[in-house]
Amino acid sequence: GENVEQHPSTLSVQEGDSAVIKCTYSDSASNYFPWYKQELGKGPQLIIDIRSNVGEKKDQRIAVTLNKTAKHFSLHITETQPEDSAVYFCAAESNDYKLSFGAGTTVTVRA
Amino acid sequence: NAGVTQTPKFRILKIGQSMTLQCTQDMNHNYMYWYRQDPGMGLKLIYYSVGAGITDKGEVPNGYNVSRSTTEDFPLRLELAAPSQTSVYFCASSYRGTNTGELFFGEGSRLTVL
């Protein structure tokens, strides 16, 4: 099955700086890569996703890049704000239509 | 708009007890899932269902059972609770499966087995 590794496990950034979270996956057949944000006491919520036929996708201050050759993808958050503080999960899905999640990154934005 | 509703939010069980975590969604989604979240481990799929009357095992199904008699409801049953089942459980639903549809999660049920 798919194995997704996520780094770093914790990330502290100054407000206004950028945050980058990286994930690698093992199954070369994976073709869908979503990112979920989990705020304290809540369930995860989709913030952006990318499919294997696209190398980069942006949505305002967040962007995701995908390198299929190297089997890794990354989340970039620019101009971080206090409300970006949360746990972020990457995930990958292969042909069995089941998502495999990374272990999560706790992001803290310092004021 | 309720979305995905889980009950209870918190529960403490003794070893060997049984209980059911309830999950209901009002979005008419075909697909429903149960995940468990352990610290530093991400989300692990326990069971999923692609429609009423159809269920299948995920990555970590041992010690759990599910049923899907209606589109709206997808309860998770723990028959003989063990300390290893201490976790936060999330129910989720999607319209057409994770590759073609966003997962909508409930707020979670925190279970402690002592």
For A44-99, the pLDDT digits (tens) are 999 999 988 889 999 999 999 999 999 999 999 999 999 999 999 999 987 666 78
Residues B55, B48 contacting (CB under 8 angstroms) = yes
| Residue B84 in this model has a pLDDT that exceeds 70 | yes
pLDDT of residue B11: 96
Report how far apart the first and last C-alpha atoms of chain A are (Å, whole number). 41
Query: What is the model's pLDDT at position B40?
Result: 81
Q: Is the pLDDT of residue B72 over 70?
A: yes
Residue A29 C-alpha, separation from nearest chain B C-alpha, in angstroms: 13
3-state SS, chain A, equals CCCEEEECCEEEEECCCCEEEEEEECCCCCCEEEEEEECCCCCCEEEEEEECCCCEEEECCEEEEEECCCCEEEEEECCCCHHHCEEEEEEEECCCCCEEECCCEEEEEEC
Work out the pLDDT band at A107, boundaries 50, 70, 90: very high
Tell me, what's the pLDDT at B96?
75
- Of A2, A19, A3, nearest to A11 (Cα)? A19
Residues of B in contact with A101 (CB under 8 A): 42-44
- The answer to whether residue B99 scores a pLDDT higher than 80 is no
> pLDDT at position B100, please?
65
* β B76-78/B19-25 pair status: antiparallel
Closest approach of A35 to chain B, Cα-based (Å): 11
Q: Closest Cα of chain A to B18: distance in Å?
A: 24
Question: What confidence score (pLDDT) does residue A1 get?
Answer: 73
Q: Which residues in chain B (32-91) have CB-CB distances under 8 A to chain A?
A: 40-45, 48, 58-59, 90
Confidence at residue B98, expressed as pLDDT on a 0 to 100 scale: 62
Contact A44 B102 (CB under 8 A): no
On the question of pLDDT at B114 being above 80, the answer is yes
Residue B10: how many CB atoms within 10 A of its CB? 10
